[in-house]
Amino acid sequence: MRFGPPRGVAAHHRAFAGRTRPARPCFAARMIRKRHDTDLDACVALLAAVHTHSGYPHRWPDDPARWLTPDGLTDAWVAEADGAVVGHAALCGNEVSRLCVAPAARGTGLGGRLLRAAETRAAARGVRPVLTVKATDTAAIGLYERRGWIRRATEREDWGHGGTVTVHRYEAPAGRPAH
């Protein structure tokens, strides 16, 4: 009687040792939808995971649910995968904000789909969306630039508690048709 993996499996694993990518969760059932008040607890948990992973937001808010619902909120969306909230975006007037995606769901296109939801809503309101991003957030900058957003300014801002941060200000491309 033989114990262990079937014949050939162990040799296969040895041959590819060190060459495999870490397994990523399968986000088969993905959708972008309007955020509901009942989503806020899940959105706060998402924000905590993002903050731990990548430091966004720059400073953890005293009231994260309130931070996700800023004054002037026009609309907010969540990305949902297999029933779990894995992304969030908000539109306040013409400003896209509070855009984040769970670390395990990055690279799946959900950030771009959340951004597109905000762009489409802004266009329907007749405004051209803008956003501000920390200059060190290269993943977000890459997303915006791949989608054709135009960097209009780079500035240093005082974000309180002695923290001065360099930010880029972006504007959506003109004439982008709603998708």
The structural domains of the chain, with segments of one domain joined by +, span 26-171
The CATH homologous superfamily for domain 26-171 is Gcn5-related N-acetyltransferase (GNAT) (3.40.630.30)
What is the spatial distance between Cα 62 and Cα 118, in angstroms, rounded to a whole number? 26
- Kindly list the distances between the CA atom of residue 136 and the CA atoms of 28, 56, 168, in Å, as whole numbers in the listed order: 31, 11, 10
Find, among 179, 104, 125, the residue nearest to 147 by Cα. 179
Given a contact cutoff of 8 angstroms between Cβ atoms, the answer to whether 44 and 64 are in contact is yes
What is this structure's pTM?
A: 0.81
Tens of pLDDT, residue by residue over 42-87, are 999 999 999 999 989 988 999 999 999 999 999 999 999 989 999 9
Q: How many CB atoms lie within 10 A of CB 110?
A: 23
pLDDT tens track for 138-157 = 999 999 999 999 999 999 99
Report the candidate in 133, 120, 93 with the shortest Cα–Cα distance to residue 176. Answer: 120
d(CA 152, CA 59): 25
- DSSP H/E element including 39: none
By C-alpha distance, which of 154, 96, 147 is closest to 123?
96
